[in-house]
Amino acid sequence: MRLIIAEKPSLARAIADALPGQSRRSDGAVTVGDTTVTWCLGHLLEQAPPDAYDPALKQWRLDHLPILPNPWRLMPRPKARGQLAVIRRLLKEASSVVHAGDPDREGQLLVQEVLDYLKWRGPVARLLVNDLNRPAVVKALGQLRDNSEFQALYRAAETRSRADWLYGINLTRAWTLTGRQAGHNGVLSVGRVQTPVLGLVVRRDAEIAAFTPRPFHVLWVDLAVEHGNLRAWWQPGEHHPLDDQGRLLQRGPAEALAARLPGSQGTLASLNAKKSRQAAPLPYSLSALQVDAARRYKLSAKAVLDTCQSLYERHKLITYPRSDCRYLPAAHHGPSRQALTNACQGDATLGPWLAGADFSLRSKAFNDAKVSAHHALSPTGTRPDFSRLSATEANVFRLIARNVLAQFYPPLETREVKAEFTILEERFRAQGREILAPGWKPLFTTRDEAPPLPPLREGEPARVQETGVEDRETRPPEPFTDASLIKAMMNIARYVQDPAVKRTLRDSDGLGTEATRAGIIETLLDRGYLVRQQQALRATQIGHALINALPEAVGRAERTALWEQRLTDIAETGSDPSPFLSGLVEDLRGLLGAADAGRMRSALSDARGVAPAAPSAATSKRKPRRASTGKGATAKRGSSKRSTTQSASGKTTGTSSGRRKAGTSKPRSKKTDDA
């Protein structure tokens, strides 16, 4: 019997449907001819907790650190034992195995660690599926490769998992115990991704708190030109008092010029008109959808993820949602007409959009070379019953369908005009935008565009009709919201200075993954490091204190970039991961040496009064989340796709009384992990 082990049930169903013959379902598997297809439920295994290596490590003590497992051990996840037993039974009957994890680093680890744990020693082939469309799966089944070709990818994923455990377990215990010495009761969780995300919010809040508004002044003129009227803005020269962005800092020069301008005659000194064509926005990845849904419907990142899971699993209306890709396979182009026709049936919003689509068009979104482990979110072609969808489900589904529909609309064509006038030997600038062909634009906005400039020709006269001086103030940065924080995590390179690090982060997936970003935000909220104030995400007192007490590098993204460089090298060249892990241990020793109760005490004191307190257990309405068993679990890990439910001590813990001797007792609080 040939056994195919898929990463998740949806992939297993697609593989079984692509096999020739009648299928027969059993508990946890599908059999077709001499092939049985089973599946994982995300990660079936997790890193063992510290006390699995030594019972003494169940107690949290500074003199136990660093904890360095040797050899490393995995253990079954509690909710995955049943499926693990199914795979164990099937392996005893198998003559060969096909590894059908996702074609990425984590997908390679997810299935192979199960085979190693269950001590499979027979042949293993590798099936690479990135499109659940039946012809694509049939093609992939005809192109099996030897799993030995992917051992470097496996070692890189295994190394990442171990490195995150070392980092999170050791630093969480160190700063929790140091916090207790400084008077803080409760776990202070530290992780390679979670903590830099918190650092983003803490630093943004600090910028806002330290911001001092500065007044500046603008002067406008309404001009009569040959074919109409327009408004232009004064461009003061460098001999006037300007800030670094060219804004006028004193009102006097603007007032003096405004007094001279009425009735003055000038000329159009320069005219620059440029036509442009803009293709439709690409179909959504999960993070891109979370950004747009947060802006349009004020949904949290987790609400969007949960809604997508419902549309995918319950209603069967969209493809796999936890995707980081914004492209579709070329084979989807032809069937898109029927899939979108079905998706738009009976909806007053989608129906007119469907009517305007031209399915002979082929956008750049259909590109096999750009498709990664998963393709962009798209409708499956199942006809929706909108009466069975919640308002949020319907809104999110429309967004997903709209972005795929937009691929069958022509480009937006515009004409950008910049005009500079000379009046009383001073420069005045006007600019406008004219829509020549709306293309896909009406699907995305119903707002009226600013009126375009009237027809202009260089050298034509212009007469001043009215003038005005406006007083304005510089504004502080906006606090993070779900949308802007997700976007910052996607584009984390913007927040670092080192050019080499910028390049690495630009080439990587940013902080976290599509599957974990919403969970990172929710974890920071649950642990009391962030709080929502209307739509804004603000760091709490303990969030500020933790970042300010940690070494600066722990709260920044540069470490993720350096890790990704090394892990990519392991995956691509097959280099030995031992030097990376040895270097991490040395780094950890230095970081652990920086744990200082005095610095923590000072940080806690400084945070009081300058940041909101975390919600208390008595007043918080947030419900505790259940542990997820999926590879993309959103609640537990911020450092990778892999999720974990263990605490920093390896156990779920309660509330600390705060009366035990600091440094020798095991603090009891909310679950922590190495993210």
According to DSSP, the β-strands at 2-6 and 96-100 are parallel
Question: Which residue, 117, 135, 153, sits at the end of a domain?
Answer: 153
* Angstrom distance (rounded) from CA 543 to CA 524: 9
Domain boundary among 565, 591, 607: 607
Give the max Cα distance, the chain: 94
Q: Answer whether residue 137 is part of any domain.
A: yes
Residue 650 has pLDDT above 60, yes or no: no
The answer, yes or no, to whether residue 647 has pLDDT greater than 70, is no
Same domain, 139 and 103: yes
Q: What mean pLDDT is predicted for residues 231-237?
A: 96
d(CA 245, CA 215): 13
> pLDDT tens digit string along 552-602?
999 998 888 788 888 888 998 999 999 999 999 999 999 999 999 999 999
Structure tokens at 328: 């579709």
Residue 618 falls within a domain, yes or no? no
Same domain flag for 362 and 343: yes
- Span of 142-146, 315-319, 536-540, 650-654 with lowest mean pLDDT: 650-654
For residue 511, what pLDDT band results from cuts at 50, 70 and 90? confident
3 DSSP β-pair partners: 36, 97
CA gap 97, 550 in Å, rounded: 47
- DSSP lists the bridge partners of residue 230 as 223
Q: How far apart are CA 24 and CA 27, in angstroms?
A: 10
Rounded CA separation 645/625 (Å): 11
524 vs 502 pLDDT, higher one: 524
Torsion sign (Cα): 648, 650, 653, 657 = negative
Model pLDDT, residue 612? 85
Q: Confirm whether 651 is domain-assigned.
A: no
Judgement on whether residues 146 and 222 belong to the same structural domain of the protein: no
Distances (CA, A) of 167 to 155, 344, 585, 607, 675: 18, 48, 9, 25, 8
- Number of other CB atoms surrounding residue 297 within 10 Å: 15
pLDDT-derived band at 236, boundaries 50, 70, 90: very high
| Reduced DSSP (H G I as helix, E B as strand, rest coil) percent helix, strand, coil of the chain, to 5 | 40, 20, 40
pLDDT of residue 172: 97
Q: Cα separation of 96 and 90, whole Å? A: 11
For 13-70, the DSSP string reads HHHHHHSSS-EEEETTEEEETTEEEEE--S-SEEEPPHHHH-GGGGS--GGGPSP--S
Phi, psi for 256 (deg, rounded to 5): -65, -45
Beta strands (DSSP E) in 392-510 are 412-423, 426-437, 461-473
Residue 492: name the closest of 480, 483, 500, 504 by CA. 504
Question: What is the mean predicted confidence (pLDDT) over 537-543?
Answer: 96
Helix (H) or strand (E) holding 234: strand 228-234
Asked whether residue 552 is domain-assigned, the answer is: yes
Name which residue leads in pLDDT, 383 or 641. 383
pLDDT of residue 446: 67
User: Binning pLDDT at 50, 70 and 90, where does residue 616 land?
Assistant: low
Same domain membership, residue 261 and residue 290: no
CATH number at residue 425: 2.70.20.10
Number of domains composing the chain: 4
Percent of all residues in the chain with a pLDDT value above 70, rounded to a whole number: 90
Q: Please, is 447 exposed, middle or buried when counting C-beta atoms within 10 Å of its C-beta (0-12, 13-18, 19+)?
A: exposed
Is residue 67 a contact partner of residue 47, using CB atoms and an 8 Å limit? no
In a domain, 512, yes or no: yes
Residues 6+ apart with CB under 8 A from 271: 417, 418, 419, 420, 456, 457, 458
Token output for 196? 């830099």
- Could you tell me which of 484, 529, 620, 657 has the C-alpha nearest to residue 175? 529
Six-digit token string for 278 = 């803009």
673: pLDDT confidence band, cut at 50, 70 and 90? very low
Structural domain includes residue 524: yes
CB 160 within 8 A of CB 674: no
Is residue 465 a contact partner of residue 265, using CB atoms and an 8 Å limit? no
CA distance 394 to 532: 25
Together in a domain, 111 and 19: yes
Residue 650 lies in a domain: no
Which of 447, 473, 499 is the C-terminal boundary of a domain? 473
Please indicate, yes or no, whether residues 179 and 128 belong to a single structural domain of this protein.
Answer: no
DSSP for 556-591, please give it: STHHHHHHHHHHHHHHHH---SHHHHHHHHHHHHHH
Q: Which CATH number do you get for residue 362?
A: 1.10.290.10
What CATH number has the domain bearing residue 149?
Answer: 3.40.50.140
Please write the tens of the pLDDT for every residue from 58-106: 999 999 999 999 999 999 999 999 999 999 999 999 999 999 998 888 8
Residues 186, 192, 194: CA angle, nearest 5 degrees: 55
H or E element, residue 176: helix 151-181
Element (H, E) at 499: helix 499-507
- Identify the pLDDT of residue 89: 97
pLDDT tens-digit map of 277-289: 999 999 999 999 9
Residues 69 and 190 in one domain: no
Q: Which two tokens stand for residue 604?
A: 């806690």
Q: Chain centroid to CA 518: how far?
A: 7
The answer to whether residues 127 and 99 touch, using CB atoms and an 8 Å cutoff, is yes
Among candidate residues 108, 119, 43, the one with its CA nearest the CA of residue 81: 43
**Average pLDDT taken over every residue of the chain:** 88
Distance CA 188, CA 599 (A): 14
pLDDT at 507: 67
Tell the residue number behind the tokens 């600013």, with chain if given. Answer: 450
Name 349's Cβ contacts closer than 8 Å, sequence gap at least 6: 398
Residues 296 and 231 in one domain: no
C-alpha to C-alpha distance for 104 and 102, rounded to whole angstroms = 6
ω into 579 cis (within 30 of 0): no
For residues 269 and 336, membership in a common domain is answered with no
Claim to verify: residue 459 and residue 514 sit in the same structural domain = no
- 260 and 361 in a single domain? The answer is no
Whether the per-residue pLDDT at 354 is higher than 60: the answer is yes
Q: Is a pLDDT exceeding 80 seen at residue 618?
A: no
Is 34 a member of any domain?
yes
Same domain, 358 and 492: no
pLDDT (0 to 100) of residue 652: 33
The per-residue pLDDT for 495 is: 81
**Which residue has 């795929």 as its token pair?**
404
What is the number of residues in the chain? 675
The residues annotated with a catalytic role in the active site are: 320
Domain that holds residue 111: 2-153
